[in-house]
Structure 1
């Protein structure tokens, strides 16, 4: 049975002009780790989505006394609008495509195929750069927690979930500080358990719920993997 934890009952009625909920990603990760422990959730490994997911994932991994690694995926952007995700692909080639949008916009199949291949290679190279070893962790039969700093469209998370599912884990938990209610409702069906601190009805972007939401460099993100 899938379980969902929602800690946002007061937020659904609040307007857009509210104060940021989290000071920064690390503070959000500490609160997320506490929520996971309160639920008695135990995992064998925490996987964070770079780059912004790693500052959140480190305190989560520490709270659960689990190793921290990464799940890497890249957005597949629409033609002439790369920020608009029509899908995402993980480092191992696992892909999620928004077929409804692709059909509605009549996006050519050759564009989707070529961009998918390009982004898969970019994700693979990024995973290799972040890890100290060439091989990814074994997830078969493991209890896995996937972490990010938030969910807006859910495209990247979907591709990472697909990648993890293909490894046949025993259990997959998705944990995020804040998420779009619409995107998270779609993701709930893909995992065994969800821990989401906030799902504000006035959601616009992940960054609006952080006091500090600066870009995380690759070097800074990798430093969280080095901490033990």
Structure 2
């Protein structure tokens, strides 16, 4: 795969204190999605375009992107592997299709045993299967072979979930992969060199403790919201789309 083309950034830096932006950039995930769609506007109207969302938080962001770009929307289900000592700390991630990404440095630092890791993987694999059924039901995945695929989340902190998602996606043979998020660390693009063709981020702070600090409203996205977004997206015609991102 070719190296990353480069970064598109509407705001390349922001002052941060205690992990929070000095003035929140995004009102909520829908607002973040509209701003991200603007950064991705060169893809608007392409007939080969598919937007894949990482549930749950990436779905309302991706919904706005897909609507603005007149693209089909689907989910790529991923589960973070939270450390036993701190479930918010990612020691890896898994994705539909058997993809597994491990943060080896975290495993070493926390001295995670093989048994501990296996327990977490088993638990998250069961949740992955539950979400796949809950979100997709009987609907087959949107075909991506030979397509340009934009993979969207509500932000990238460690990058573990996105890496697992891309591992799973590549086995489905898309022609081009674009990673797109509202906020990521300033050096996040380098982690995806040779994996994605392009990396797009609206905001890239020098230091990112957590992505929630860049949202006014960062309430947890529910399964019901995910299903509602997917149902609404199935109701529009991507070829015609919406007239605007808002």
The alignment's TM-score, normalised by the length of structure 1, stands at 0.90
2:59–2:153 Cα contact (<8 Å) kept: yes
- Structure 1: unaligned runs, 5 residues or longer: none
Question: Is 1:197–2:202 an aligned residue pair?
Answer: yes
Q: Name 2:65's counterpart in structure 1.
A: 60
User: How many residues in Structure 1 have an aligned counterpart in Structure 2?
Assistant: 227
Q: Secondary structure at the match of 1:119?
A: helix
* CA apart distance, 1:181: 2.5
SS of residue paired to 2:178: strand
- Residues 206 and 15 from structure 1, CA distance in 2 versus in 1: closer, same or farther, beyond 3 angstroms? closer
Is residue 53 of structure 2 the alignment partner of residue 48 of structure 1?
yes
Q: Deviations over 1:196-228 (max 9, x none)?
A: 111111322111111221111110122111113
Distance in 2, Cα, partners of 1:32 & 1:62: 12
Q: What pairs with 1:199-218 in structure 2 (closer than 5 Å)?
A: 199-218=204-223
Partner of residue 146 from structure 1, selected from 138, 145, 151: 151
Cα distance in 1 for residues equivalent to 2:70 and 2:97: 27
Q: Give per-residue Cα distances to partners, 1:88-125, cap 9 Å, x unaligned.
A: 00122101011232234332112223322331231122
Going from structure 1 to structure 2, the CA distance change for 1:180 and 1:224 (only over 3 Å counts) comes to same
Corresponding position: 1:3 with 2:5: yes
Unaligned runs of 5+ in 2: 237-246
> Residue 172 of structure 1 is aligned with which of 171, 174, 177?
177
Tell me the C-alpha RMSD between the 2 structures.
2.1
Change (3 A) 1:69 1:10: closer
| C-alpha separation in 2, matches of 1:68 and 1:219 | 16
Once residues 126 and 18 of structure 1 are traced to their aligned partners in structure 2, the CA distance between those partners, rounded to angstroms, is: 35
TM-score, scaled relative to structure 2: 0.84
Q: Which residue in 2 is equivalent to 1:22?
A: 26
Instruction: Please give the alpha-carbon distance, in whole angstroms, between the structure 2 residues aligned to 1:169 and 1:59.
Output: 22
Aligned 8 A contact 2:147 2:174 in 1: yes
Listed as ranges, the matches of 1:43-122 within 5 Å are 43-122=48-127
Contact 1:24/1:210 (8 A) holds in 2: yes
Distance (Å, rounded) in 2 between the aligned partners of 1:162 and 1:45? 17
Corresponding residue of 2:41: 37
Residue 188 of structure 1 deviates from its aligned partner by 4.1
